[in-house]
Structure 1
Amino acid sequence: MVRMSAEERRESVIRAAMHEFARGGYHGTSTEAIAKRVGVSQPYLFRLFPSKQALFLATAERCLRETREVFAAAAEGLEGEEATLAMANAYSRLIAEEPDKLQMQLQMYAGVAAAEAAGDHRLGELVRKGWTELWDTVHVPLGGDVTETTSFMAYGMLINTLTAMGFPPGHRVWEGLYPPAPAPVDGSAGAGE
């Protein structure tokens, strides 16, 4: 049996944490559940990440980075309407095929609100930085147009909300979205995910 390196194990912990945090949020997820999903002990998990908060921060950063990479790859070499449609379609595929990414985003936003209310600004700073980078990634292919970027991001948040609430494809709430972004393929990114 081939043993994983510490970096490979760290990657598997982040993937497991994304799955667990996406479902239970920060407070509803135990490090024991994450360790069990990966097949490591809690002490080993804490050798990779010094605290549950450090693991949540790493997972949030990863979620934002991977979402940003999806937008950048989709818009590569495109501008304006072509870039808008390519990014919208790529994002729709991402949240349909990897519902943990959407659920993790929603958990991050809720986590920021709770942490900020308690006076802890680390998660908020990380998420605001990541979201600003996401904004910039979208902004450039849209020609630096603030209105277009705002509209794109607003529609994305609407898609996040409708998907999280479990609205099925074809439901009337999906009508009128522009750019036309298909609803998740089978509604699998619903609220129970």
Structure 2
Amino acid sequence: MSAEERRESVIRAAVTEFSRGGYHGTSTEAIAKRVGVSQPYLFRLFPGKQAIFLEASRRCCRDVTEVFRRASEGLEGEAATKAMGEAYQALIADDPEKLLMQMQMYVAVAAAEAAGDRAFGEALRAEWMEMYDVANLAMGADVNETTQFLAYGMLVNVLVSMGFQPEHRVWAGFYEEVQPR
């Protein structure tokens, strides 16, 4: 494998490991083991654990952004909103690690900010804003619609990450187009 292919393997493994254990609960040893490399090799690819977490988080944000972009292509307004919601549901049903990584990312940014590290949060806020802008443009730059869409999405994230099954009454308030699978 080339260094770039190995780097890609590390990012995928990091998403898996960090989504389960969070930033502080995941060791670089676990990531290296999952990839099949030594820790020293891992640190030749990335300068440290935070850089690995940052790349895993960026990947997660970019994947969600791309799902929104593809789903809304050629659509506008309500049709784009519905298509993005359905595509996001499919993404988290097929790859729940993406959802859990998002949740870990939010916690890690809050912890970094509390410790005085604004740069980490700034990098991830930029990725999140790209996702926001893609959704917002697809909805005709309607800030209220975008806010509602993302608020429902965050509620979906919380309910799914807490393990509420689709038939649970907590889902009853969702519109048909945002019902979980």
Q: TM-score normalised by the shorter chain: which range applies?
A: over 0.9
Which TM-score applies when normalising by structure 2? 0.97
The answer as to 2:134 corresponding to 1:155 is: no
Aligned twin of 1:120: 117
Matched residue, 1:134: 131
Match of 1:9 among 6, 9, 28: 6
Query: Aligned equivalents of 1:51 and 1:10: distance in 2?
Result: 13
Q: Which residue of 1 aligns with 2:15?
A: 18
Structure number with the higher helix fraction is 2
Counterpart of 1:177 in structure 2 is: 174
Report the Cα offset of residue 130 of structure 1. 1.2
2:104 pairs with 1:110: no
**RMSD value over aligned CA atoms?**
1.0
- Correspondence for 1:79: 76
Which amino acid letter does the alignment assign opposite residue 81 of structure 2?
A: T
* Partner Cα distance (1:100, 1:73) in 2: 20
Return the alpha-carbon distance in structure 2 between the equivalents of residues 79 and 176 of structure 1. 25
Deviation at 1:122, TM superposition (A): 2.2
Count of residue pairs brought into register by the alignment:
181
Q: Deviations over 1:165-193 (max 9, x none)?
A: 1000111111121362231x4xxxxxxxx
Report the TM-score when normalising by structure 1: 0.91
Aligned partners of 1:51, 1:14: CA distance in 2, in Å?
A: 13
Which of 31, 45, 48 matches 2:45? 48
Point out where structure 1 has 5 or more consecutive residues left out of the alignment.
186-193
